[in-house]
Amino acid sequence: MTKIVYNGETDPRLCKDVIGATVASLADGDPDVIFLDADLMSCSGTLKWSKTHADRAIDCGIAEANMAGVAAGLAAAGFKPIIHSFGTFASRRIYDQIFLSGGYAKNDITVIGTDPGVTATMNGGTHMPFEDVALYNALPHATVIDASDPTCLESVLRQCVNRPGIKYIRVGRKQYAKIYEDGSELPIGKAVTLREGKDVVIFAAGIMLHEAMKAAASLEAQGVSAAVVDCFTIKPIDADAVEAWAKKCGAVVVAENANRHGGLYDTILEVLAERCPVPAAVVAVEDEFGEVGTQGYLQERFGLTAAHIEEQVKSVLARK
Amino acid sequence: MEFKEKQAIEAFALRIRMAALEAIHSIGSGHVGGVMSISDALAVLYGREMKVRPEDPKWPDRDYLVMSKGHAGPAVYATLALKGFFPYEELKTLNRGGTRLPSHCDRNKTPGVDMTTGSLGQGTSQAAGLALGNKLRGRNNRVFLIVGDGEMDEGQCWESFLFASAKKLGNLVVLIDWNKRQLDGYLDEVLPMGDFVAKMEAFGFDTVKVDGGDVEAIAAALERTRNGGDKPYAIVLDTIKGHGIDEVEAIAMNHSLPVTDERFANWTAELKAKLDALEG
């Protein structure tokens, strides 16, 4: 059951604590679940638990490629591995290992990449994955998730361990705006309507949901009715929901904390082109590398704010 | 090793070479050099050391083979066909559309192939994961990992060796096919690797070096690994790329070679003569 409780407030939980608690709970309930990290257990909230669960928490050291391969071997031995690193290393650094030892070899692995896009803040451009979504989108049969809030994170992580293929979950380590009631289930592959509307639909994911909701409220005051749809599952996209909303509103804006190429925008454009061509626009990173700064600075710098969404809504409505 | 058993293993190694050559000839060319250099080790592994069930390839308690130098697939396929994992005639489907025998090993295609390899270095981590998983499951089996000497250029190998040692994977046996040559030429010209024994010892492996063309020596080295313990094992196989066929050994760049009808006839005759001399 999914209940929306969004009112603009922040969920008190840190996502890294949710990862830690969920991994511990999954391992308790299933002897096949095993967690691997690459010297970042203190960042994934699993360090304390790992000290008392040495057989279920494997620290691989700073060797992400090996971690991905070891996870593949563990899967071949009958385990359900969950691996973690920062999003940059959990995607591009281990791509060949995840692609071949994992996906191609049919060794099922859940990958958690933390600090996606601008949430990498003080670690800066070297640690700022704008491309992780595109990489995992290009991996056949992969599942790609941009978690909406701590509740969504817990729900999708629980589903991923028993889901075939490679599953990539990108999520910040810190706090998110609260969207769903604690304990809500978010079935993978089903988009969720956060706000009804009739003039334009905003498809968003991850931290951009909060921005989309703020933009929709502001637009309402200006007489524009904007729907907001949570596309936390980027792949497989909920094509039926995309089509239905595009048909109803006749104008689409996509908001994502990633490069505009190869991510949610492209995914939605494919659906629109094949099923329901309507004017579309995007709020995303305009094909740039990351840089250091606060999240507020970076959202302004890369154009990932509610104001940028409003601007694109107006632009797309003019083309409707 | 009894004399008769030694003879049988040597004959098995020759048959592996002949069968692999037949497979490669059927498609016209392939990785002849590295197939020949690893045939003796495969004969010892599948001829006496490994617990496997050809009729039940996925038996969970089996010993596993990870051929990380995945381009030696034809040597593995020849071995498995001779062991009865699939019909011998299927070897001639190598690399043909729809085959179960692709150029590089694929665990989802070939009965008896335990891991998918080909992107060099990746098999080492997979083998470490398999060994860790088997250990956690309490299985009393071993994982045999075959790595090419040129493959050791890949940094992932060394990451995985550190890991195997740190996790005390005494159920992992790494066999390094030290045949001195990689695709572009000799290791010493392309990227000199120094002393493999010293390197593996430094990475925490119980290491020996043996003549990789001497089945008795390989067998003795493998017997040492039966008792497990806290250290993973490494066996450096001192081999010759193309071993077993004089003309192939003599071709400096023998990583991949065309196998014409004439070459196939001559090379098979040489191997057959050795087999006849052995079996009388």
Return the residue in A64, A66, A80, A104 with the most chain B beta carbons within 10 A, the one to mutate for interface testing.
A66
Contacts of B251 (CB under 8 A, 6+ apart): B33, B242, B257
- Min Cα separation B135/chain A (Å): 10
Q: Could you report the per-residue pLDDT of B25-43, keeping only the tens digit for each?
A: 999 999 999 999 999 999 9
Whole-number pLDDT of residue B280: 81
pLDDT digits (tens, 9 = 90+) for A20-76: 999 999 999 999 999 999 999 999 999 999 999 999 999 999 999 999 999 999 999
Mean predicted lDDT score pLDDT of chain B: 97
Which residue in B108, B128, B134 is closest to A105 by CB distance?
Answer: B108
Query: Could you tell me which of B25, B42, B22 has the C-alpha nearest to residue B34?
Result: B42
Q: Say what the ipTM of the complex is.
A: 0.96
Report residue B102's pLDDT band, with 50, 70 and 90 as the boundaries.
Answer: very high
Q: Say if A15-171 and A192-318 have the same CATH topology.
A: yes
Question: Which among A143, A69, A136, A138 is positioned nearest to A107, based on CA atoms?
Answer: A69
B115-133 per-position pLDDT tens digit:
999 999 999 999 999 999 9
B129 interfaces chain A, CB cutoff of 8 Å: yes
Q: d(Cα A204, Cα A190) in Å, to the nearest integer?
A: 13
Give the residue from B9, B76, B12, B62 showing the smallest Cα distance to B217. B9
Please give the residue of chain A at the shortest CA–CA distance from B106: A105
Half-sphere exposure of B215 (CA within 13 A, CB side): 24
**The tokens of B251 are what?**
């071709």
Residue B75: closest CA among B114, B55, B103: B103
Q: Which residue has the tokens 């299927």?
A: B90
The rounded distance, in Å, linking the Cα atoms of B151 and B104 is 14
Which of B122, B134, B137 lies at the smallest CB-CB distance from A97?
B122
Neighbours of B180 (CB within 10 A): 17
CB contact under 8 A, B129 and A75: yes
Query: What is the total count of domains within chain B?
Result: 1
Compare all CA atoms of chain A with the CA of B105 and give the residue at the minimum distance: A105
**Residue B123 to residue B116: CA distance in whole angstroms:** 8
Beta pairing, strands A109-114 & A143-146: unpaired
Q: Which residues of chain A have pLDDT under 70?
A: none
In this complex, do A104 and B116 lie within 8 Å of one another by their Cβ atoms? yes
* CA separation, residue A126 to residues A86, A115, A123, A258, B221 (Å): 11, 12, 7, 15, 46
- Residue B87 and residue B80: Cα distance in Å, rounded? 9
Q: What are the residue ranges spanned by the domains of chain A?
A: 15-171, 192-318
Distance CA A263, CA A236 (A): 12
The residues that bridge with A37 in the sheet, in sequence order, are A59, A84
pLDDT (0 to 100) of residue A120: 98
Task: List, in order, residues 6 or more apart from A229 with CB less than 8 Å away.
Answer: A191, A192, A193, A194, A201, A202, A203, A204, A241, A242, A245
Q: Enumerate the β-bridge partners of residue A225.
A: none
- Give domain A15-171's CATH superfamily: Thiamin diphosphate (ThDP)-binding fold, Pyr/PP domains (3.40.50.970)
The whole-number pLDDT of residue A20 equals 98
Architecture of domain A192-318: 3-Layer(aba) Sandwich (3.40)
pLDDT at A1: 87
Domain range holding B102?
3-279
CATH for B127: 3.40.50.970
Contacts of residue B162, defined as CB under 8 A and 6 or more positions apart, other chains included, come to A61, A63, A66, B203, B204
